[in-house]
Amino acid sequence: MRLTNAKSVKQGIRAVAARAGVSTASVSRALNNPGAVSPSLRARIEQAIDALGYIPHAPARILSSRRSRTLGAIVPTIDNTMFARGIASLQQYLSSVGYMLFLTTSGYDLDVELQQARNLISRGVDGLVLRGDCHHDGLRKLLADNAVPFINVGIYQPDRPYPCVGTDNEAAAHRAAAHVIELGHRRIGIVSALQRNNDRASARVAGFRRALTENGIELPAQWHVEVPYTLDDAREAARYLLSLKDRPTAVVCGNDVIAYGVLLEAERDGFSVPRDLSVIGFDDLDWSRHLRPSLTTIHVPTGETWQRAGEYLVRSLAGEQTIMHREIDFSLVVRESTAPPPNSLK
């Protein structure tokens, strides 16, 4: 169903050109590089454009120019406050510089991530924002083969050859554990997120463990539990830890949601936080300062992190010089959920 009556064109750049009495080249120039066209022409063209309600056709533009002004992002899930925030921030930034964002989710599955990347590349994205540096081997090859710029966000690994922006999770976790150690705790449990395919979770566990080791503290195997990112699972883990005859006086958590679960369950089981049990989180979500007791945690500036990731790619694409590894500072926020251990258990 192609209309070959080439006489008049209903829409598109040709219609605009016809109405303004100029060539399509001029219209294109007026749109993409207004300075390259004389003011009089530009005015005529602009008038024609909004007389016709002309909307440029991005796919055609991409096809012809080989640039899409679109970035792709693959996150494990959007149903996680930290990612939702990061994406919101990234999206807002990109939109402010005239870029768009294709968002997809992988569900922590490396194969799916690879598939999504293929999908995004096929869509013509100019660059890719990835979560962490835990990827399918095929993904690296894919990115290299297609010369797609990318950045790993949420981690800081200055020694790797890939660009990244994020906080040093290992160091931050170390700081968290150090905090409860400084308070006098020696019986410390860990409730972490699932480490599989999640370098952020692993780095945090590594940081916790290093702090313990450095202080000559042993970690009984049953004091380290891994749980999915839900309040229910965290509560179950807490119930288990607190039911041990030999139980910790402090629990360091892989993220705030886990900490909330531990807090809630401890209270429910009749333990008073921080008197009977100290709890420390990681991320500093909104709830942390509203809870009662409020949660001591590690503050991570997610919004900034993701925005910087966007900046990195946009600048790189513009040919500017950019910093390959950018560290985002974390900070320990001490609130009410941590205190020295009870004397009897010191």
* Length of the chain (residues): 346
* 3-state SS, one letter per residue, for 170-202: HHHHHHHHHHHHHCCCCCEEEEEECCCCCHHHH
Q: Which amino acid is at 242?
A: L
Q: How far is the CB of 33 from a copy of itself (least distance, A)?
A: 18
Judged by the rule CB under 8 A, the positions of this chain that interact with a copy of itself are 53, 55-60, 62-63, 68, 77-79, 81, 84-85, 87-88, 91-92, 95, 100-105, 118-119, 121-124, 145-146, 230-231, 235, 260-261, 264, 267-268, 286-287, 290, 292
Half-sphere exposure of 53 (CA within 13 A, CB side): 1
274 makes contact, choosing from a copy of itself, DNA, none, with CB < 5 to 8 Å by partner type, with none
Cα distance between residue 233 and residue 265, in whole Å: 11
- 8 A C-beta contact, residue 218 and residue 186: no
Q: Which does 31 bind (CB under 5 to 8 A by kind): a copy of itself, DNA, none?
A: DNA
Q: Tokens standing for 244?
A: 């041990």
The listed partner (DNA, a copy of itself, none) that binds 323, CB under 5 to 8 Å by sort, is none
Place of tokens 């749109």: 31
Give the residue among 273, 281, 285 at the shortest CA–CA distance from 190.
281
230 binds, among DNA, a copy of itself, none (CB under 5 to 8 A by kind): a copy of itself
Select from 269, 225, 274, 218 the least CA-distant residue to 249.
Answer: 274
**Which partner in DNA, a copy of itself, none is near 196 (CB below 5 to 8 A by kind)?**
none
Rg (CA), the chain: 26
Residue 119 CB, shortest distance to a copy of itself, in Å, is 7
Residue 149 gets the label, from left (phi > 0), alpha (psi -120 to 50) or beta, of beta
Looking at beta carbons only, is 78 or 194 nearer to a copy of itself? 78
**Positions that interact with DNA (CB under 7 A):** 1-4, 11-14, 21-29, 31-32, 36-38, 40-41, 54-57, 60-61, 63-67
Residue nearer to DNA on the CB measure, 55 or 221: 55
What distances in angstroms separate CA 156 from CA 219, 252, 278, one per listed residue?
26, 21, 28
Binder of residue 3, out of DNA, a copy of itself, none (CB less than 5 to 8 A by kind)? DNA
Nearer to a copy of itself, 62 or 171 (CB): 62
47 binds, options DNA, a copy of itself, none, Cβ within 5 to 8 A by partner type = none
The least CB distance from residue 127 to DNA, in Å, is 17
Smallest distance from a copy of itself to CB 3, Å: 13
Residue nearer to a copy of itself on the CB measure, 23 or 77:
77
